[in-house]
Amino acid sequence: MVDVIIIGAGLNGLVAANYMGKAGKKVLVLERRAIAGGQAVRESFGKDFQVDALHAGGQLRPDIVNDLGLELPTSISEPLISILPDGRQLRLTADADEQTLASIRGLSKRDAERWPEFVAFMTQASAFLDAAYRTPMPRLPHITLAEGWPLAQLALKLRRLGSKDMFRVIRAMPMSALELTEEWFESDAVRAAIASVAINGQTLGPMSAGTGYTLMHTWLNRGGPGHRRIEGGTGRIADALAAALKARGGDVRLSADVKNVIVEDQSARGVRLANGEEISAPIVVSAADPRHSLLDLVGAPELPPEFVWATQSIKMRGAVAKVHLLTDGSHGLPKGTLVIAPSIRYAERAYDAAKYGEMSTQPYLEITTAGRVVSLHFQFAPYTLRQGDWEQLRPVLERCAIDTAASAFPQLKATIRETRSLTPLDLEKTYGLTEGDLNHGQLILDQMFFMRPMPGWSNHKTPIDGFYLCGNGGHGGGGISGASGRNAARAVLNDVGKR
Amino acid sequence: MSANQYDAIVIGAGHNGLIGAAYLARAGKKVVVLERREVVGGAAVTEEIFPGYRFTEFSYVVSLLRPEIIRDLELPRHGLKILPLPSTVTPMDNGDYLAAWADHDQTRREIYRHSPRDAEAADEYSRVMARAAKAIKPVISLVPPDPSSMSPRDLMGLLKLGKYAKSLSEKELYRIAKLVTQSSADLLNEWFEFDPLKGTKSASGIIGTFLGPHSPGTAYVLLHHYMGEIDGAFRAWGFAKNGTGGVTAAIASSARALGVEIRTGASVRQVIVKGGRAAGVALENGDELRAKVVMSAADPKRSFLQFVESKHFPDEFTQQIRNFRVRGSSGKVNIALSELPNFTCLPGESPLHRGAISISPSMEYIERAYDEAKYGQYSKNPYIDIIIPSMIDRDMAPPGHHVMSCFVQYAPYDIEGGWDDAKRDAFGETVISTIERYAPNIRRAIVGKQVITPKDIERIAGITGGNIFHGELLLHQLFFLRPAAKWADFRTPLPGYYFGAAGAHPGGGVMGAAGKMAAQEVLKDWR
């Protein structure tokens, strides 16, 4: 008999499990796949072909690492390098080192002078966002004093920035990345490089309102414009979390496909696996996306119609594809987060295609390398296609991704030995991401804070007693920071304490 | 008191300026309104562009004008007559049409004809939107508090805001939160399935903004237009007797009756500052007028970057005004006609001519129109909102003839290579040929046409950027951020200098609230 069942051994699931294990709960994590890690998984596509399948890097929030006393592999922050049509490289880092400034100066002296202040602003903005993500978002408008206090503290933190910076941060969130960067920089290439961070993983363009917020979000998760690379791959975060969980008496069961949550009179009683096995527990927490968790695992009949409607209305619409290349090792690509988004218009046009259910023909690309492997993050590849399906389009996708990368690095093509692509459909089928949305629900203004995953349910609870959500769809979610898992665990423990 | 000595000077005789002046005069102040043009009315002017044909050059419908203003200034007594626009018809590409009539049941049957599901949804949708518009109204008439300030006034304002939020039901609160942040495409897709219906409804979400239906934030603009009310009835759009100029004429007449002096052809060069206070204005012709208080009803850029030397403002404020977005996105084509346009979807003279005709076959149509604009081109297939004032008010055109007003989006102010006569003509031609697809006789019926680009709006009406709202209704340009953080309460960093126009809270759309609220703040400070 376990106290808590957690569905999904992604980082959020494992983080939540650890927090509850730490609080003395007996936790069982059930993973559908034969490998743990969820989005942060290190996949093997064959001999010498090990890749970080979905995220080229990332980091858990430092407070989580401390709370859980994790021993994580060292991670290094890499620069973002935008490849410009004339072959020039724009190098951006979160610290205003001379190399970065010189690189910006090559495009604009004025922009180079502004960079340190911009980094300071982004650091401040993401620090605020981090605090916001640690603050539970209660149900409005009737907030108890206990719920109101952390909010008041957050508001105070915002005011303590001083009116100038306070408004800077508030204003920036609903802005578009273009509007925001226009106020700072004159070089279109610099604007585009920053905007690429804002639209990474989002189905939005640099001109979409709210990409100011997504810029802060991704900047926070990465700790700067470029990825944070983990020695041995992102998979090792999951390994560390799983080990820590075992040490806390918890367990992770792989190849355990949860078919549905067992609900009796509006309360969770446990789960039923695909193989028919039933495991009972008073508390079930799902790290899967809200739509799958509620409509498939619980099922509409168990839920109020309005709630079902709200769940169906969550905007997922993923538009990310991955193309991994095993090369002979002589690709000669520089280290770092290499970006192909030379201009704002280039990136916006790439997004336009997604609006109409088409794959970008001139995609925004993020290229990362790990030894012989070269990984291409491709946007935009909309889950919902107007014509054809992703099996038909797979070769087109691979060709387009490789050609675009080769336009910047001509030598690459000849070195390719194997190609392995992940379409939005694969993201759904293999990784259980509904509509291939890495964020379990787009990070758009009407799906953030009090409205994430949906209005009135930002507290990780559901209409089913003892059934909670701890995935990326929750407050703090998006990326592989574990923030949502941490918040959900606190919400659960808070309730359990009351019992 | 000398001839040029006043209690208050108001810059700009648009509806906000006139309304502000009227409220000041009502409080017994000696007020003068200075208008650069020879005509009163700002963007709401009716002019005889071709002999016998009268047009409202820029704005074209009335709806958002606050009812309390109509009452306070007794506008009906001063000739304000609002004639209802009974219908909206959307011609479809297959030769059919979608209509919304004044009569609810008729409209319901009409929608049912296209989509039973949408007919069901439409009623609930209207109720929900009307409720949301009602619920958000208190915020519209609230002086935005400065959340960074500790002053009693601001804290009171924040308290009011908190009380207001608590007064809402959970449902209302979240609905408003969603409406303020959502895209109109997401909003409408949750409710409806029929493209022409979604296209036509989404249009109100883009008017006056440089955004497409898929851009987050457009649902708010949609709601903003929903607040239109005539005699308290929500969402009833109307057309003023003698055009929108009729509205400003009535306001001007009411203002004059209250003792306001209106000087036309009086172009302001600069605000005179004495002892760190606004003390009057200097005109281009060299005249100087003195007053205790100066209130600008011009757009933010002119009010703060042109009329006042930057040394009187903190850099932080000036920087914010520089960053304030005023990108014009719409144009207007005014056409004098020898006969009615004959729409293939409703041949001959039909009820559609008495209402609005909306060229908005689908949301994608409008989104694609936006795509062209964001890359610096005018839309090759634009959204057009057509009305034929002469059908409602026969005095607008010679007997048997007609005037047709076409509001067109998108026409970017910053068009690639800049606007010139050739581009203006090409833009006009695009509009004509677009209408021609639905009303083939339009071309031969044209007696004369006037094409207005955002550049022209800037030149003629003096609105920087040619944005009809003096500044886009973007989330980061609303409420306590409009026109600048810390200065959304109609005051400015220069004591004695006030700001009451569409560029201030709650924004444009011929509602006049800004002018009224600014006047009230002026009176609060009066010593």
Per-residue pLDDT reduced to its tens digit, A310-335: 999 999 999 999 999 999 999 999 99
A456 in contact with B, Cβ within 8 Å: yes
Instruction: Give the pLDDT band of residue B233 (cuts 50, 70, 90).
Output: very low
- Provide the pLDDT for residue A242: 97
Phi, psi of B342 (to 5 degrees): -100, 100
Model confidence at A387: pLDDT above 80: yes
The encoded tokens of residue A201 equal 């993983």
Residues A457, A449: contact at Cβ < 8 Å? Answer: no
d(CA B185, CA B201): 10
Kindly list the distances between the CA atom of residue B108 and the CA atoms of B84, B104, B117, in Å, as whole numbers in the listed order.
Answer: 20, 6, 11
* Interface confidence (ipTM) of the complex: 0.94
- Provide the pLDDT for residue B234: 38
- Provide the pLDDT for residue B237: 60
CB–CB contact B217 A209 (8 Å): yes
- Provide the pLDDT for residue B41: 85
Instruction: List CB contacts of A414: < 8 A, sequence separation 6 or more.
Output: none
Q: Looking at CA atoms only, how far is residue A171 from chain B in angstroms?
A: 5
Of A179, A355, A455, the CB nearest to B174: A455
Residues A197, A218: contact at Cβ < 8 Å? Answer: yes
Closest CA to A319 of A288, A367, A293, A351: A351
Each residue of A169-195: pLDDT tens digit?
A: 999 999 999 999 999 999 999 999 999
d(CA B349, CA B336): 17
Q: Looking at CA atoms only, how far is residue B178 from chain A in angstroms?
A: 5
Length of chain B, in residues: 527
Model confidence at B232: pLDDT above 60: no
Other beta carbons within 10 angstroms of residue A99's beta carbon come to: 10
CB–CB contact A210 B216 (8 Å): yes
Residues A255, A32: contact at Cβ < 8 Å? Answer: yes
**Chain A residues closer than 8 Å to B474 by CB:** 174-175, 179, 209
d(CA B334, CA B407): 9
HSE of A364, CA atoms in CB hemisphere, 13 A: 35
Rg (CA), chain A: 22
d(CA B239, CA B246): 10
Model confidence at A228: pLDDT above 90: yes
Strand residues in B53-116 grouped as ranges (E): 53-56, 82-84, 88-91, 97-100
Q: Looking at CA atoms only, how far is residue B414 from chain A in angstroms?
A: 15
Rg (CA), chain B: 22
**Chain B residues closer than 8 Å to A315 by CB:** 186
Tell how far CA A151 is from the center of its chain. Answer: 24
Each residue of B90-110: pLDDT tens digit?
A: 999 999 999 999 888 999 999
CB–CB contact A445 B475 (8 Å): yes
Q: Among positive and negative, which fits the CA dihedral B415, B418, B422, B425?
A: positive
A152 in contact with B, Cβ within 8 Å: no
Which range, of A100-109, A245-254, B350-359, averages the lowest pLDDT? B350-359
Residues A469, A329: contact at Cβ < 8 Å? Answer: no
- Provide the pLDDT for residue B163: 85
Residue B38 exposed, middle or buried by CB count within 10 Å (0-12, 13-18, 19+): exposed
d(CA A226, CA A338): 9
Sheet holding A278-280, edge to edge: A258-264, A267-273, A278-280
Kindly list the distances between the CA atom of residue B261 and the CA atoms of B26, B33, B34, B40, in Å, as whole numbers in the listed order.
Answer: 13, 6, 9, 12
CB–CB contact A139 B481 (8 Å): no
Q: Looking at CA atoms only, how far is residue A445 from chain B in angstroms?
A: 6
Peptide bond connecting B389 to the previous residue in cis, omega within 30 degrees of 0 = no
Residue B4 exposed, middle or buried by CB count within 10 Å (0-12, 13-18, 19+): middle
Length of chain A, in residues: 499
Of B148, B215, B474, the CB nearest to A159: B148
More confident residue, B137 or A15: A15
d(CA B281, CA A286): 67
Q: Rounded mean pLDDT of B133-151?
A: 86
Q: Which of B125, B128, B148, B319 to mutate to test the interface with A (most CBs of A within 10 A)?
A: B148
d(CA A104, CA A96): 10
Phi, psi of B251 (to 5 degrees): -65, -45
Phi, psi of A152 (to 5 degrees): -60, -40
Size of interface A-B (CB pairs under 8 A): 93
Q: Rounded mean pLDDT of A56-73?
A: 94
Model confidence at B311: pLDDT above 90: yes
Residue B229 exposed, middle or buried by CB count within 10 Å (0-12, 13-18, 19+): buried
Which range, of A374-383, B80-89, B363-372, averages the lowest pLDDT? B80-89
To the nearest 10°, report the CA torsion of B464, B466, B470, B472.
Answer: -120
Strand residues in A119-257 grouped as ranges (E): 228-230, 251-253
Phi, psi of B259 (to 5 degrees): 100, 10
Q: Rounded mean pLDDT of B118-125?
A: 94
d(CA B238, CA A378): 50
Closest CA to B325 of B308, B301, B351, B361: B301
SS3 A46: coil
More confident residue, B197 or B157: B197
d(CA A158, CA A173): 14
Residues B38, B268: contact at Cβ < 8 Å? Answer: no
The encoded tokens of residue A363 equal 């995609």
Q: B175 forms bridges with which residues in the sheet? A: none
- Provide the pLDDT for residue A97: 92
- Provide the pLDDT for residue A420: 98
Kindly list the distances between the CA atom of residue A138 and the CA atoms of A443, A456, B172, B261, in Å, as whole numbers in the listed order.
Answer: 19, 8, 16, 55
Each residue of A448-467: pLDDT tens digit?
A: 999 999 999 999 999 999 99
Q: Which of A166, A167, A203, A349 to mutate to test the interface with B (most CBs of B within 10 A)?
A: A167
Q: Where are the alpha helices (DSSP H) in A305-386?
A: 305-312, 344-355
Strand residues in B27-186 grouped as ranges (E): 31-34, 46-50, 53-56, 82-84, 88-91, 97-100
Q: Rounded mean pLDDT of B234-244?
A: 66
Of B173, B474, B481, the CB nearest to A209: B474
Residues A224, A77: contact at Cβ < 8 Å? Answer: yes
Instruction: List CB contacts of B86: < 8 A, sequence separation 6 or more.
Output: B101, B102, B351, B354, B355
- Provide the pLDDT for residue B230: 36
d(CA B266, CA B317): 28
- Provide the pLDDT for residue A397: 98
- Provide the pLDDT for residue B235: 41
Of B178, B190, B485, the CB nearest to A451: B178
d(CA A408, CA A331): 12
Of A171, A209, A315, the CB nearest to B186: A315
Q: Rounded mean pLDDT of A362-366?
A: 98
Instruction: Give the pLDDT band of residue B71 (cuts 50, 70, 90).
Output: very high
Q: Rounded mean pLDDT of B69-80?
A: 92
d(CA B452, CA A462): 54
Model confidence at B135: pLDDT above 90: no
Q: Looking at CA atoms only, how far is residue A109 from chain B in angstroms?
A: 20
Instruction: Give the pLDDT band of residue A431 (cuts 50, 70, 90).
Output: very high
Closest CA to A329 of A412, A205, A229, A244: A412
Model confidence at A266: pLDDT above 80: yes
Each residue of A32-51: pLDDT tens digit?
A: 999 999 999 999 999 999 99
- Provide the pLDDT for residue B228: 57
Each residue of B401-442: pLDDT tens digit?
A: 999 999 999 999 999 999 999 999 999 999 999 999 999 999
More confident residue, B163 or B322: B322
CB–CB contact A356 B364 (8 Å): yes
**Chain A residues closer than 8 Å to B481 by CB:** 167, 170-171
More confident residue, B60 or B380: B380
- Provide the pLDDT for residue B367: 98
Q: Where are the alpha helices (DSSP H) in A208-339?
A: 211-222, 235-247, 290-291, 305-312
